[in-house]
């Protein structure tokens, strides 16, 4: 039986490997004409209310959501879209090229000074 497109866009079971932050941002962006209480966001996304609180706080620090107690709403639509697009691009690159080994990056340059920190005589 078919479902309407709004249900399709909202349903958590179609969300695959998206992070909780992406799920919350997507929900708020799809409903950008409304503001919600934490519990309403939790109920709509299927995420534990305590986790929703933590995620909303991190998203607020990044200016991706707005908060006027007790309500939360999507932030600037362009900023939200850019954040989601960046995450998807990074996921695609990681799938195609593999993830970076940060310890290897740190070890590779640990013994050398950055060129901007070297003296004018080349040392």
* CATH architecture, domain defined by 1-81: Orthogonal Bundle (1.10)
Please write the tens of the pLDDT for every residue from 17-49. Answer: 678 998 999 999 999 999 999 999 999 999 999
pLDDT at 9 exceeding the cut of 70: no
pTM (2 decimals)?
0.64
Buried b (16+ CB within 10 A) or exposed e, 48-80: eeeebeebbeebeeeebbeeeeeebbbbeeeeb
**What are the backbone angles phi and psi of residue 71, rounded to the nearest 5°?**
-100, 150
pLDDT of 41-72, one tens digit each?
A: 999 999 999 999 999 999 999 999 999 999 99
């Amino acid at each position: 039986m078919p479902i309407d497109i709004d249900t399709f866009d909202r349903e958590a079971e179609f969300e695959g490997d998206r992070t909780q932050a992406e799920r919350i941002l997507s929900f708020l962006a799809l409903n950008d004409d409304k503001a919600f209480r934490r519990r309403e966001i939790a109920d709509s996304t299927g995420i534990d209310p305590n986790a929703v609180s933590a995620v909303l706080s991190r998203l607020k620090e990044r200016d991706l959501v707005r908060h006027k107690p007790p309500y939360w709403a999507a932030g600037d639509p362009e900023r939200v879209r850019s954040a989601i697009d960046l995450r998807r691009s990074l996921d695609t690159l990681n799938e195609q090229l593999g993830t970076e080994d940060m310890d290897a990056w740190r070890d590779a340059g640990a013994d050398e000074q950055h060129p901007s920190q070297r003296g004018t005589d080349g040392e």
